[in-house]
Amino acid sequence: MTFIMQTGKTKTKASGKTRPPPSKQGRRAGASARARYRA
C-alpha cells in the first residue's frame, strides 16, 4: 500500500494532465492502473 500511495501522489498531477481524474472509477482503480503503468 505504501508504493500505491506514493505512486498515486506523484502520478496524480501527471495523470490528471494526460487523462481525466479517475473519480468515476474510484481511487482504487486509479492506483491499480498506475501500478500497471509503472510495472
Distance separating alpha carbons of residues 25 and 39, to the nearest angstrom: 20
- Please write the tens of the pLDDT for every residue from 1-39: 555 555 555 555 555 555 555 555 555 656 666 666 665
The grid coordinates listed for 3 are 508504493
pTM confidence score: 0.19
Specify whether the CB–CB gap between 8 and 34 falls below 8 A: yes
